[in-house]
Structure 1
Amino acid sequence: MPAPKSLSADSLPPHSLRIGLIREGKVPADQRVALTPKKSVEAQTTYPGLRVIVQGSLVRAYADQEYRDLGLSVQDEVADCDVLLGVKEVPVALLVPDKTYFFFSHTIKKQPANRELLRAVLARNITLIDYELLTDAAGQRVVAFGRYAGIVGAYNALLTYGRKHGLFELKPAHQCVDLDDMQEEYFKVKSLPPLKIAVTGSGRVAGGALEVLDKMGIRQVTVHQYLHQDFAEPVYAQLRSGDYHRHRDGRPWDTADFHQHPASYESTFAPYLPLTDLLIACAYWHPAAPRLLSEADTQRPDFRINTIADVTCDVNGSIPVTRRAATITAPAYDYVPATGELAPAYSAPENITVMAVDNLPCELPRNASRDFGRQLLDHVFPHLLAGDPDGVLARATIAKGGQLCPRYAYLADYVG
């Protein structure tokens, strides 16, 4: 097997490292792209030893001509490139042997649907670098679509609440040209009753959700105010992990310990159940962590939540009424507390209407792609083009040379 090409731009002649932007092959097709036309040009300008080649696509949010207009090469195949950048999982039939790929593989939790994908990666001697695993020295992710998941998720939450109660009709996010167009819809949200909105989480996703609520003019209150005061206007509170969990043996809250040992904690979300009208769930959930609420909770006489936007969309996860993922075009369904069954969205006032879409950033693909490309240029390309001295890429490499990397050896039984 030939030695892999060095990824150091300092010692490379022009165009010696070719990066291919692959056409998304997963069905349904994703309109996002790792690098927009302008970000592609910026990459070439910043690193003279790099050339970006674009695989033609009829569904990408940025048309092929937008790349050509900036002097970028668009061609039907990019198999001659050294590094291939995608977004979603690459279908097994499209994987090119002996290449370095970047994409979200969704394999690190042993997801059954992607077992054959990882097996093919190993069999074809592919180096797989997963965006989800790219972290800095402190362990924080450096690239993600989370902000736009939160933005679209909160928008869909209000869209769903408005439809359920006949208050207003917002244009679906996927029908908006971009974020600016979607924000024009915010002005329709003027007839909200004095409801209480709980937003869980403190990361990128929750941050995106809070952006929307703030721009819609919904006032943020403290957790204490949320629990102990009534308001004559709609308000929201951001609930961090320590606001609705406690250690089982009564120890003081410890965020780091919670992330390391989630099974040692229990949910204390019960006080919010009789106070909350709309729940926007943006918190990352580990399968060992307690569920936010139970199906039995939904039958309590004082249970008040009538609309849930499960932005994280963990099916049968932290929110047990999230029984399945919905779709962009049909983003909601009803859960019937009396029977535990699902029903069409908005079919009865007493039902809980659930918005659960697992690819929310796809609804604003141009904006989401711009942000993602910015993150790649700022936090990944410097390592890609300088030999990865800090191990950023190494930590995110699941497979190389036909083998699982040591950090991901636990996947051996998954692919065995």
Structure 2
Amino acid sequence: MQRLIWLRHETKPFEQRSCLTPNACKKLLELGHDVIVERSPVRIFEDAEYESVGCKLVESNSWINAPLNAIIIGLKELEDADFSLSHRHIHFAHVFKNQHGYEKTLSRFIKGDGLLYDLEYLTDSNQKRIAAFGVWAGFAGAALAIDLWTHTQLGMNYNSKAPLVPYENEMAMVDDVEERLNKIISRPRVLVIGAKGRSGKGAVKFLRAIGIEATMWGSRDTITNHPIEEILGFDILINCALIKEPRSPFLDLQTIEKERNLTVISDVGCDPNGPCNPLPIYENCTTMDIPSIKIQDNLYLTAIDHLPSLLPRESSEDFCSQLLPHLVDFLDNKIENSPWERALEVFYRKSYDLSPDEITIEENDSRDKILM
């Protein structure tokens, strides 16, 4: 069955990644599908790379007027707007944990009869994500943690380094951070929470590349005694824990007022506005423009929600290699008991759970249509 895949341009600032590489698009074309790619001045892969494999190029953000049978695929969330969403969309929407603005986003899908297959909720039968950037998020999150700590030790303002820019490859990132770290005799005591997950493994990988062996905690180490005052004895906390349900925090504002060695927190989990946030000590994510914030005297935090953007080519190629086999199944309509069916069930459930006051439905629309 021939399908129309529409790869959209990313509008999130500093986002150069793509969930479909030119080679992946070539494979989709060879399978008989149509692939349209929006021109992008920021994507890590050049427009010409897509054109050379046979993709049709169109203007940025033209997906809005794409045929209704087009499957709109991207990476990060759509820009905030008021028009309804009528296509099938595949991307990270950041709405199913009741994040800021989730009501409006889901309402747009309900009003437009569109569907959302959230990449975060494409899971196998064991509820494990089939494709993730986690390793590179942890890798970059650890790099920023060490670099921020190094800047504080050298009396330097980390934000003076902004805006952060992507690295050519992972070794370029390691070399850059290590160059400053080597100006300091001592090495920090580092704690990685969630060390056995994808992000945690990435963080440990970076730390070992610069000769630091971190203390690694898993879920058993954080299951009781919250807030966890033991964290205050470390110099750096790198939080890579995947928290799916509300729980008591690892740290809170009252706890960090106590005597501590803790100087830097890198929150790779990065969910400050959600009910599952284990670090309710800050209100907004940091950015490539302002990568760190001061929480208290001698305590700084970095929490960028698209860390793999600092290694865009490697992270894109890795993610796409994980996603592509499942995308081929989706296009072949092999969705029964699949990650796609599970993701769609989450969309239906979260949409239907919205209260009537949270949805503005057109006169001829029906809330029940999301169950059709």
Pairwise TM-score range, normalised by the shorter structure = 0.7 to 0.9
- 2:108 pairs, out of 120, 138, 141, with 120
Q: In 1, are the aligned partners of 2:82 and 2:108 still within 8 Å (CA)? A: no
Q: Distance in 2 between matches of 1:334 and 1:37?
A: 41
Change in Cα spacing, 1:310 to 1:71, as seen in structure 2 (3 Å) is same
Q: Which residue of 1 aligns with 2:279?
A: 319
Displacement of 1:97 in angstroms is 5.3
Paired position in structure 1 for 2:4: 18
Bigger mean CA deviation after superposition, 309-318 or 209-218: 309-318
User: How far 1:29 sits from its partner (Å)?
Assistant: 6.0
Question: Do residues 296 (structure 1) and 254 (structure 2) align?
Answer: yes
d(CA) in 1 for partners of 2:266, 2:282: 9
Q: TM-score, normalised by structure 2?
A: 0.83
Residues 325 and 357 of structure 1 are in contact (CA less than 8 Å); yes or no, is this contact kept in structure 2? yes
**Superposition map of 1:183-194 within 5 A:** 183-188=174-179, 189-190=181-182, 191-194=184-187
Q: Is the 8 Å Cα contact of residues 143 and 206 (structure 2) preserved in structure 1?
A: yes
CA distance in 2, matches of 1:411, 1:20: 29
Paired amino acid for 1:289: R
Answering whether residue 42 of structure 2 is matched by residue 82 of structure 1, we say: no
Rounded to whole Å, the distance in 2 between the matches of 1:321 and 1:93 is 30
Question: Larger strand proportion, structure 1 or 2?
Answer: 1
Question: How far 1:32 moved relative to its partner?
Answer: 2.0
Stretch moving more, 146-155 or 92-101: 92-101
The equivalent residue for 1:40 is 25
Structure with the greater alpha carbon radius of gyration: 1
Indicate the residue corresponding to 2:15 in structure 1. Answer: 30
CA contact (8 A) 2:227 2:249 kept: no
Report how far residue 71 of structure 1 moved. 2.9
User: Given residue 325 of structure 2, which amino acid in structure 1 is its aligned partner?
Assistant: D
Matches within 5 A, 1:51-62: 51-62=34-45
Equivalent position of 2:172 in the other structure: 181
Separation of aligned partners in 1, 2:349 and 2:284? 34
Deviations 1:205-259 (A, max 9, x none): 111111101111213xxxxxxxxxxxxxxxx11111111223xxxxxxxxxxxxx
Q: Would you say the 8 A contact 2:249–2:279 is kept in 1? A: yes
Question: Residue 14 of structure 2 contacts residue 309 of structure 2 at CA under 8 Å; is this kept in 1?
Answer: no
Partner residue, 1:307: 264
1:126 to partner: Cα distance:
1.0
Of 172, 193, 196, the residue aligned with 2:189 is 196
The match for 2:200 is 206
Going from structure 1 to structure 2, the CA distance change for 1:92 and 1:353 (only over 3 Å counts) comes to closer
The DSSP-based 3-state class of the residue aligned with 2:116 is strand
1:63 corresponds, among 33, 41, 46, to: 46
Quote the RMSD (CA, aligned, Å). 2.7
Question: Which residue does the alignment assign to 2:338?
Answer: 391
Aligned partner letter, 1:38 = N
Question: Is 1:415 paired with 2:362?
Answer: no
2:303 to 356, 360, 367: 356
Aligned 8 A contact 2:15 2:42 in 1: yes
Cα deviations across residues 4-53 of structure 1 (Å, max 9, x unaligned)?
Answer: xxxxxxxx3xxx2111101224x5363222201122113333xx232221
State the 1:92 CA deviation. 5.7
CA distance in 1, matches of 2:100, 2:267: 22
Contact kept in structure 1, 2:96 and 2:102, CA below 8 Å: no
Looking at structure 1, the residues matched to 38 and 83 of structure 2 have their Cα atoms a distance apart, in angstroms, of 14
The alpha-carbon distance between structure 1 residues 95 and 32, as it changes in their structure 2 partners (threshold 3 A), is farther
In the TM superposition, residue 84 of structure 1 has moved relative to its aligned partner by: 1.2
